[in-house]
Structure 1
Amino acid sequence: MSTRLNKSMMEFQDHLRHSKRIVALVGAGLSASSGLPTFRGSQGLWKNFNMIDLATPDAFYIDPGLVWQFYSYRRHAALKAHPNSGHLALARLSQVPSVEFVTITQNVDGLSIRAGTPRHKLHEIHGSLFDLRCTSFGCNYVDHDNFVDPLTPALGGTEEEFDRSGRKRSMHGDEDTDGASVSPEFTPVKQLDDSELPRCPACGDLLRPGVVWFGESLSLQLLNRIDGFIEQGPIDLMLVVGTSGTVYPANGYVDRVRYKGGKVAIFNTDIEDSVVDGQQEGVWGFRGDAAETLPQALDPLISQVCP
């Protein structure tokens, strides 16, 4: 560790030891170490469908079977991943008795919950792949943390993007006889009837993934709970983990904490040199894999908690 980085770490940990109220803002960069690509970073395609086009209320209205197959694939990928050391460090921080702490996550992968972060200390502002909501206007049924995979028999076999049989396409669309391959075959998209999709046990209508789709608003109730925690008292420290923190509402939380005198520590692979070099007052920057740097940085507090 360089002299400058070592000094920054010592300064950060000294402030950490005296911090009574801490907020963590988490983004996709943390889950990347668990093997999950960022939503926009995987070329934006699933079986040649644009992922962003599938993540809309209109897409679900037009073809719920297609959209549920896409989300079955995402749920399956997230379940194959495991919480990494960064997720576990934040979960342990949530158990430190001397600290009031909440995590605001922009991720929908469920890894923070699976790492052991208590639900009442976790705010999933974009929802979760493992929450299910009823689509009926008159029904408020919600199923939290449903890790069943697949959710229905008809969704079985749709979890993998590519055909795992080993058959490959040739340049002319036929199987190569010499073993040379151009690209793997996509598993076919099924035509599913609505009756084969997840249904609400309360009213019988379709269930949908409990995520915030493009064109939808964030939960006002959830945002109010976050505001309540921030306004309840001074925030001594904000941890910005695996995210730039420059998109609404994340940027607002960082600005509010700094405006009220709180300090900020950024853990990410992409950080401005001026932050890493300590040229921004009240901001520390630790460049690298947050799954590695975060547990080290939080050690003075989380070492008090049994793993």
Structure 2
Amino acid sequence: MPIEEAAAWIRQADGLLITAGAGMGIDSGLPDFRGPGGFWGVYPALGRARIAFEAIANPAAFERNPALAWGFYGHRLALYRQTKPHAGFAMLQALAEKLERGAFVFTSNVDGHFRKAGFAAERICEVHGSIHHLQCAAACSDEIWSADSFQPEVDNENCRLMGDPPLCPRCGQLARPNILMFGDWQWLERRSALQQQNLQRWLATVDRLVTLEIGAGTQVATVRHFSERQPGRLIRLNPDEPEIARHPDALALPLGALAGLKQLYQALA
């Protein structure tokens, strides 16, 4: 059975590279933004205004309408803070503890849930940044700081920030999440670049690598492309797009994040 083969691969590995896309968060109750219908179902005010995800998740939105842009990101920040990572995160940690070199996380998710679930900060690479960190919207400097002190109050019906937005401590202008957005030339990538350096150092210590990709789709294919470029074996968990092309040693499992991780965990028990 494929799940038994995947478990055998992990058993033989000395390091586990966990690559995760948006599908990793669905079992925690986080919304799925695939397609305008799904996105506007979560943000009906943006649906009424016919504002697509690509238009609001865009630095231009902070220039046009800061209250609306921070209504969207403030709601997401509060949601990610309130939501508990699902049990699959703990299963991944348990699997990693059995391996000589442990695990490293590479994710396009900005929700911070791997860190919240207990993964070490130095073993996480958030390639698109994190909503829990801020930067100047005008990129007046390369400073990136924690969003912990910002407690957004959002009018969810109208997707608008009710209070004051966060400001840059250096120039006093509007701050924004340190997230790579669509059409984004102002994103400060220093934090993510340092994480990628940590990842490359870790990869250099691993001889028998297995990449376990979870919930990474083709719409934003950063994670899929990264997974397929790695040496060693690749296991892909994806209920909708499990196919793997041009990889000599791979298993495609049409399973969601939590269901797939439960089966792997049981097979490795």
Mapped contact 1:265–1:284 kept (Cα < 8 A): yes
Whole-angstrom CA distance in 2 between matches of 1:66 and 1:129:
16
1:214 aligns with 182
1:270 aligns with 240
Q: 1:293 to 1:43 in 2, by over 3 A?
A: closer
Q: 1:251 to 1:97 in 2, by over 3 A?
A: closer
Which residue type is aligned with residue 156 of structure 1?
E
SS in 1 for 2:68: helix
2:7 aligns with 13
Mapped contact 2:154–2:161 kept (Cα < 8 A): no
Which residue type is aligned with residue 238 of structure 1?
T
2:261 aligns with 294
Q: 1:215 to 1:93 in 2, by over 3 A?
A: farther
Which residue type is aligned with residue 183 of structure 2?
G
Q: How does 1:191-202 map to 2 (within 5 A)?
A: 196-202=164-170
Q: 1:191 to 1:21 in 2, by over 3 A?
A: closer
SS in 2 for 1:34: coil
Structure 1 length-normalised TM: 0.70
Q: How does 1:1-307 map to 2 (within 5 A)?
A: 7-41=1-35, 43-45=38-40, 46=43, 47-48=45-46, 49-96=51-98, 98-135=100-137, 137-144=139-146, 146-147=147-148, 151-152=150-151, 155-158=152-155, 161=156, 186-187=157-158, 189=160, 196-216=164-184, 219=189, 221=193, 222-230=195-203, 233-234=206-207, 236-244=209-217, 248-257=221-230, 260=231, 262-272=232-242, 282-298=249-265
Structure 1 stretches lacking a partner, 5+ long:
1-6, 162-185
1:172 aligns with none
Superposed displacement of residue 241, structure 1 = 0.4
Which residue type is aligned with residue 87 of structure 2?
S
My pick for the range that moved more, 46-55 or 205-214, is: 46-55
Whole-angstrom CA distance in 1 between matches of 2:165 and 2:143:
16
| Aligned positions, number | 254
Whole-angstrom CA distance in 2 between matches of 1:95 and 1:29:
24
Q: 1:54 to 1:188 in 2, by over 3 A?
A: closer
Q: Which of these two proteins has the greater Rg computed from alpha carbons?
A: 1
Whole-angstrom CA distance in 2 between matches of 1:12 and 1:115:
24
Superposed displacement of residue 59, structure 1 = 1.4
Whole-angstrom CA distance in 1 between matches of 2:62 and 2:228:
36
1:123-146 deviations in whole A, cap 9, x for unaligned? 1111112111233544333224x4
Superposed displacement of residue 118, structure 1 = 1.0
Whole-angstrom CA distance in 2 between matches of 1:214 and 1:242:
21
Mapped contact 1:86–1:295 kept (Cα < 8 A): yes
Mapped contact 1:266–1:285 kept (Cα < 8 A): yes
SS in 2 for 1:284: strand
Whole-angstrom CA distance in 2 between matches of 1:38 and 1:188:
17
Superposed displacement of residue 300, structure 1 = 7.1
Mapped contact 2:15–2:99 kept (Cα < 8 A): no
SS in 1 for 2:131: strand
Structure 2 stretches lacking a partner, 5+ long:
none
Which residue type is aligned with residue 43 of structure 1?
G
Structure 2 length-normalised TM: 0.79
CA RMSD, Structure 1 to Structure 2 (Å): 3.0
Mapped contact 1:25–1:103 kept (Cα < 8 A): yes
Mapped contact 1:102–1:122 kept (Cα < 8 A): yes
